[in-house]
Structure 1
């Protein structure tokens, strides 16, 4: 038979409410009484009921992790989310916190899930794993002053939101500069998303590198489906591109397939560089040159930033920006041009 709060109170000769306050480390209880009650709890082998303890504190001891709408195979299969969730889980466990995932197929359902998690006090705060200009979640979290951290760069409320991110504009610039260093002048930027802020930032970086080098920039090649895929070869022919910067590794695999479909061999005819340095970088052949964005560190620092907010109960810690460094991993998809 398990030991109860009443059993502890009886042996310690205190009220049950006193035991509850000791469990929650309430300041109204003297250090001497806390010491006495805790000694009895230890002797009797009493284990506090975590749910009751959290209810007394008004806390859940859990954080919510919000995924973007899983509305495509690319998002469902993107290893970025699995890797960063693992990092968040690991860091949360160090602080005695559990994690709960909010996911859905569209923004309306996702917003409903997040609202329910907040209203039912399932979590104490959130980590948002994307930044999308169509997103209603940030508006809800910001308006209701709910503590959260964004992994990514916000479209708005930059001074109010704490966020952890790479410098994606610098990533785009470094990727393009690497191609330029290898003799490429006619370079395209290829993407399958135009709503997420990483697209804008990485594309701006691409443009900046080419303009600084005195070379032409091109409108982003936007490949959203089969109809666009069939015209990819025309884009390569019309621009006489020798290299492409691709929005991320998982889509780089698609671009590699399209290049081959249109009779371009990578890297002999077309060089390719991407971002994230995911498992796909070494599953495809030739192996992909990619920029490592240090996903584990994004998850770890994002979790720490949220915990810092939760520990400041009387004030909303906002406007914190943390930039995570990156590293270019050279493999086989970029060819050095001799005569260009």
Structure 2
């Protein structure tokens, strides 16, 4: 039976060899001393170590697999981002392995083990502090691209979220009413600061106009929590001006208002962030970011690195824009 949290590093340490040696033993490489191989296999059996399912393909060179790590997969955003990434790699015959970090155990596995990259040609990491998350766990020969976090070590694809928040602030400050923010509450320091940047930009914008935020609601990416926030906002303000730092929070607000018979631009104003498909259907004003294009750009950057293209670390930054609709 497989023992929990046993990694290739644990095996290497107990066997007194390097991680590369254990990897070669796993992949039945001929470039391992027979006595060493026998010793490592014995340790693997004793510890009950089970290697990554696709790690065995290492010895053949490129595995034609890339790994994409998300903090979680909620709603349309990650689907659009992944579709942009896949558009690049599917043409090259690659398969994308998606690893969402829903739980602390998943975070721990990525932080403490290099196993998850042993059978991959490259890694794309979204909305996480990749510099702290990976540290020494990514081998130098494995290309990495960071999305939604401006890495100091790896190529990055980002949006100017601070500016996006300022655009939202400029828009909502045009109207009379009480200003509210509904935003995501980070659960770990490893998550990127995109939501904080949006909030900071919004606050700076409204303060320049002599306005203040009545209240900031910080919640999980959860529809029911957003409904509760909408109920609270409409109970304390006769005319709220609401900035939702993601459309995922704007949707429950507009739904709650509809149920209560409240009319946008008469009883309230709302600005979301992302420009997801449903925001267009529901006619919600939002801040657009080119999600699929960001994914495609990240894929192209990673593919170039996989093919051996070498240059200095690069950051590609996209600009957000206001899409004014009926809220």
Instruction: Give the TM-score taking structure 1 as reference length.
Output: 0.66
**How many pairs are equivalent?**
265
Compared with structure 1, are the counterparts of its residues 222 and 153 closer, same or farther at alpha carbon in structure 2 (3 Å cutoff)? same
Q: How far off its partner does 1:250 sit?
A: 2.1
Equivalence for 2:274: 276
Equivalence for 2:160: 167
Which of 197, 214, 221 is equivalent to 1:201?
Answer: 197
Where in structure 1 do 4 or more consecutive aligned residues deviate above 6 Å?
none
Q: How far off its partner does 1:299 sit?
A: 0.6
Instruction: Give the TM-score taking structure 2 as reference length.
Output: 0.69
Which of 281, 284, 294 is equivalent to 1:298?
Answer: 294
Structure 2 SS opposite 1:220 = strand
Q: How far off its partner does 1:109 sit?
A: 2.6
Q: How far off its partner does 1:298 sit?
A: 0.3
Equivalence for 2:325: 331
Bigger Rg, which one: 1
Which of 111, 119, 127 is equivalent to 2:124?
Answer: 127
CA deviations on 1:171-193 (whole Å, 9 max, x unpaired) are 11111212224x34632111243
CA deviations on 1:211-243 (whole Å, 9 max, x unpaired) are 111211344222447678546444445465531
CA deviations on 1:84-124 (whole Å, 9 max, x unpaired) are 111111111344433222235314235537843313xx211
Contact 1:103–1:110 (Cα < 8 Å) also in 2: no
Structure 1: segments with no counterpart, 5+ residues: 1-51, 334-340
Q: How far off its partner does 1:282 sit?
A: 3.0
Larger relative strand fraction: 2
Q: How far off its partner does 1:312 sit?
A: 4.0
Structure 2 SS opposite 1:174 = helix
Matches within 5 A, 1:96-245: 96-103=93-100, 105-109=102-106, 112=109, 115-119=114-118, 122-131=119-128, 137-139=133-135, 141=137, 146-154=142-150, 158-181=151-174, 183-184=175-176, 186-195=178-187, 196=191, 197-224=193-220, 229-230=227-228, 232-238=230-236, 241-245=239-243
Compared with structure 1, are the counterparts of its residues 115 and 255 closer, same or farther at alpha carbon in structure 2 (3 Å cutoff)? farther
Greater CA drift, 267-276 or 301-310: 301-310
Structure 1 SS opposite 2:213 = coil
CA RMSD, aligned part only? 3.4
Compared with structure 1, are the counterparts of its residues 319 and 79 closer, same or farther at alpha carbon in structure 2 (3 Å cutoff)? same
